Amino acid sequence: TVGCVALDRHGNIAAGTSTGGLTGCHSGRVGDSPLPGCGLYADNVVGGVSLSGDGESLIRTTLAARLMHSLEAMPPGAAIQAALTYLARVGGEAGLIVIDTEGRVDWGHNSAQFAVAHARAGQPARAFVNRAQDAQEDYP
Amino acid sequence: GWAIIVHGGAKDIPPGLEDAHRRGCLLALAAGQAILEAGGAAIAAVEMAVRALEEDPTFNAGHGAVLNAAGEVECDAAIMDGATLAVGGVAAVKTLRHPISVAAALLSRTPVLLVGAGAEAFAGAHGGELCDPADLIVARPGDPGCD
């Protein structure tokens, strides 16, 4: 599964997801990826999110919606941690990318790895496969 | 200012493939970043970045999708515009080279989510890039895929 969140110069935010599914899953099975509030969400007054992980768990927890609600009250890093904590109720792995309306970028995961690249105006593009490799102090 | 972040899936990355994942994410990021730097729209940047990821066989999306129990490819994609809260999504599609672009084409045409043959018919009527399902299959033994 892949995804993207972007904020443009006009303050507009968008989010997207795309997946090739699960090996050996039942024909017709659909996970979180195409479902707003589960695998993605975007709202100019809050931010945008795109998720990856165990689709059934992300659907059962409506994790993208939960992450968006948390973003209304806390910065992206804390909102991501709150979402991952909630996910533990049903179990499963997830990776989450976020840009809030102030342009703050962050990401997190409880999976072994999560390939991510990000960039902001005035800051070069960087790529990682684990959040621990991405220095916290670089975030606004 | 602008900002962009892309991901290539929450999963175990096989040893030796970390660089391919970082490189693929950076290429996708560049595709979206170019649009944002030129003053373009976030929705266009997201579509272009995801298209690049769908094109890269490193990732489980588009070209690189895994097979279900019936031995078939079934892809899903969605895109959301934070300005209007419009959402376009497609699911269980087998013949779309870039599901994200068909999802984007839905944004201005009302339906939120189309599945299967209906989504593919919509793609055919609105300039979607159709392909043989076999064109999307890449040999990645042991890859369980992910959402």
For residue B50, give the nearest of A85, A16, A43 by alpha carbon.
Answer: A16
Query: B110-146, pLDDT tens digit by residue?
Result: 789 999 999 999 999 999 999 999 999 988 877 887 7
Query: A90-118, pLDDT tens digit by residue?
Result: 999 999 999 999 999 999 999 999 999 99
pLDDT of residue B145: 78
DSSP A25: P
In the residue annotation, A62 being an active-site residue is answered as no
Which residue type occupies A122? G
Res A68 pLDDT > 60? yes
* ipTM at complex level: 0.97
Q: If you write DSSP's letter for every residue of chain B in order, what string do you get?
A: --EEEEEEEEEPPPTT-HHHHHHHHHHHHHHHHHHHHTT--HHHHHHHHHHHHHH-TTSSSSTTB---TTS---EEEEEEETTTTEEEEEEEESSBS-HHHHHHHHGGGS-SEEEHHHHHHHHHHTT--B--GGGGB---TT--B--
Binding-face residues of A in 45-74 toward B, CB within 8 A: 47-48, 50, 52-55, 58
pLDDT of residue A82: 98
Query: B26-39, pLDDT tens digit by residue?
Result: 999 999 999 999 99
Query: B50-90, pLDDT tens digit by residue?
Result: 999 999 999 999 999 999 999 999 999 999 999 999 999 99
Please name the residues in contact with A96: beta carbons below 8 A apart, sequence gap of 6 or more.
A49, A50, A51, A52, A63, A67, A80, A83, A84, A107, A108, A109
Chain A neighbors of B13, CB-CB under 8 A:
112-113, 115, 129
pLDDT of residue B144: 84
pLDDT more than 90, % of chain A: 96
Binding-face residues of A in 73-92 toward B, CB within 8 A: none
Chain B neighbors of A71, CB-CB under 8 A:
none
Q: What average pLDDT does the structure give for chain B?
A: 95
Res A127 pLDDT > 90? yes
Burial of B87 (0-12, 13-18, 19+ CB in 10 A): buried
Q: Do B47 and A32 touch (CB under 8 A)?
A: no
Q: Do A20 and B73 touch (CB under 8 A)?
A: yes
Size of interface A-B (CB pairs under 8 A): 322
Res A139 pLDDT > 70? no
For residue B16, give the nearest of A2, A113, A125, A132 by alpha carbon.
Answer: A113
pLDDT of residue B21: 98
Q: What average pLDDT does the structure give for chain A?
A: 96
Q: How far apart, in whole angstroms, are the C-alpha atoms of residue A57 and residue A62?
A: 8
pLDDT of residue B139: 81
The shortest CB-CB distance from B60 to any of A19, A29, A113 is to A19
